[in-house]
Amino acid sequence: MKYLVILSALFFLFISSFSYSQAFSLGIVADIHAGGSKDIIRSEKNVLYPNRYCINLEGIKKSDVDYILTLGDNTQNGKESEAKRVLNCMRGYDVLWTKGNHDKEVAWQLFKTPNYYSKQIENWKIIVMDSSKVNPNSSGGFLDEQLDWLKKELSENDSEDIENIFIATHHNIFEKTDLFPNITYPEIIFPQFLKPIQVELPDPIYKKFIEIIESNDKVRYVYSGHVHLKNSCLQAGGIEYCSVPSISTKDQEGYFLNLSLE
């Protein structure tokens, strides 16, 4: 009996020496654009409702996700007052904030979050990038010093407790491109039959970024916002790239993703 107790204790110590990672849920929202009372009409479908941001966030707040990740443009005009409002709306929730081109430094400092950073959750590393320093109002991009930091972050993932990597950034890495951009004459003759054929290709400005993350076999996802009406994913180089639509846009109000990471 004495030996049985000793063996049981040794077996328990052996089992407890292994760490088991638990699955967790990541609620993802994009382009909150917390702001003033006026609607912003950019096109028939691209209509923003900055004044309804907190109502639109109710769904994700009630969803019981473990963490909330925003994909940038948390404010509409980058004002301190807008930052205070959205922070107050999300008080009490574990939020990972991403900086967008609308989030000016004067507002961003109130989020008390670095421009780019990483956080380990279970066996995942969440890497949050800042694409707002280069071409902020169009394609975005990353400065060399941030890419050097990213290389270091990825090189530190050789430990067994990091098995997967999730990357968040505001601007899309892929963009829609016309497959035959210079065809004009046939369009004049057969306009009803010729519609632009578009394909998703990586923006050239992200060539170095893609090379860096594809060199690491633990990168699973890259999630972005910025394109308010785009809701799609694609696979490239063994990585899933997803674009999340704005939570404050017409026909998409309250939209969020609940992603389970294991």
Q: Is residue 1 part of a domain?
A: no
Q: Long-range contacts: 20-24, Cβ < 8 Å, 24+?
A: 21/122, 21/123, 21/161, 21/163, 21/262, 22/122, 23/122, 23/260, 23/261, 23/262, 24/66, 24/67, 24/121, 24/122, 24/124, 24/260, 24/261
Which CA distances in Å does 194 have to 175, 179, 186, 201? 21, 12, 8, 21
**180 in helix, strand or coil?**
coil
Give me the CATH number covering residue 113: 3.60.21.10
Whether 65 is in a domain gets the answer yes
Asked, for residue 182, whether it belongs to a domain, the answer is yes
Q: What is the reported pLDDT for 198?
A: 75
| pLDDT for 161 | 85
Which H, E and C letters describe 58-122, residue by residue? HHHHCCCCCEEEECCCCECCCCHHHHHHHHHHCCCCCEECCCCCCCCHHHHHHHCCCCCEEEEEC
Strand partners of residue 200:
176
Name the nearest CA neighbour of 241 among 224, 260, 229. Answer: 224
Rounded to whole angstroms, what are the CA distances from 38 to 25, 50, 80, 206, 226?
Answer: 34, 7, 18, 35, 20
Say if 4 falls within a structural domain.
no
Tens of pLDDT along the chain (262 residues) come to: 555 544 454 444 444 444 566 999 999 999 999 998 889 998 998 999 999 999 999 999 999 999 999 999 999 999 999 999 999 999 999 999 999 999 999 999 999 999 999 999 999 999 999 999 999 999 999 999 999 999 999 987 656 689 999 999 999 999 987 776 555 555 555 555 566 677 899 999 999 999 999 999 999 999 999 999 999 999 999 999 999 999 999 999 999 999 999 9
Q: In a 10 Å sphere around its CB, with 0-12 CB exposed, 13-18 middle and 19+ buried, how is residue 131 labelled? A: buried
Phi, psi for 24 (deg, rounded to 5):
-140, 160
Domain count, the chain: 1
Residue 9 lies in a domain: no
Residue 13: both structure tokens together: 């110590």
250 assigned to some structural domain: yes
Given a contact cutoff of 8 angstroms between Cβ atoms, the answer to whether 166 and 121 are in contact is: no
In a domain, 13, yes or no: no
- Give the pair of three-digit tokens for residue 137: 């109002």
Q: What is the pTM of this model?
A: 0.86
In a domain, 11, yes or no: no
User: Which structural domain range is residue 72 located in?
Assistant: 21-261
